[in-house]
């Protein structure tokens, strides 16, 4: 293998994990409605930077996205900063009780929700629900 091929393969390998995270957005007012109006399946992660449960959920979500690139390709992931938006219209309209809540939306329907659970199995089930809805 020559140097040029080695560098190309190394660059591709370095970018592969980033591709699994291609569609992670930070929430801003109107973003969820905009994405739902486009027909996207939205996975909302209500989190705080200081929250240990949120960090554990994030690790599981990241591992699952690394295992199955379709999650990152077909589902729109939106992080909602609890400290900034915990009292927002979005939180009130969805009756989100606390940070470390994960919610999947499609169209005008909520497809599933997890509150303060960090296990791989329930988070994978929620992500699989989102993936099935995304088609």
Interval 61-72: pLDDT, tens = 999 999 999 999
Tokens at residue 23, please? 């569609």
Q: In terms of pTM, does the model score above 0.85?
A: no
Whether pLDDT at 5 is above 60: no
What's the start-to-end Cα distance of the chain, in Å? 40
Structural domain boundaries, residue 84? 3-134
Give strand pairing partners of 42.
Answer: 76, 105
CATH number for the domain that contains residue 35: 3.40.30.10
Structurally, the chain folds into a number of domains equal to 1
User: Residue 107 — left, alpha, or beta (φ > 0 → left; ψ -120 to 50 → alpha)?
Assistant: left
Residue that is written with structure tokens 């995304």 in the block: 134
Relative orientation angle of helices 3-20 and 52-67, to the nearest 10 degrees? 130
Tokens at residue 11, please? 């660059």
């Amino acid at each position: 293998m020559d140097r040029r091929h080695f560098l190309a393969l190394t660059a591709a390998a370095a970018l592969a994990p980033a591709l699994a995270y291609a569609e992670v957005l930070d929430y801003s007012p109107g973003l969820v409605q905009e994405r739902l109006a486009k027909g996207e399946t939205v996975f909302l992660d209500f989190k705080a930077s200081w929250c240990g449960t949120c960090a554990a959920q994030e690790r599981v979500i990241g591992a699952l996205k690394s295992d199955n690139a379709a999650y990152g390709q077909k589902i729109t992931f939106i992080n909602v900063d609890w400290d900034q938006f915990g009292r927002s219209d979005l939180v009130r309209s969805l009756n989100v009780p606390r940070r470390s809540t994960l919610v999947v939306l499609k169209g005008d329907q909520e497809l599933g929700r997890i509150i303060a659970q960090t296990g791989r199995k329930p988070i994978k089930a929620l992500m699989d629900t989102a993936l099935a809805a995304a088609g």
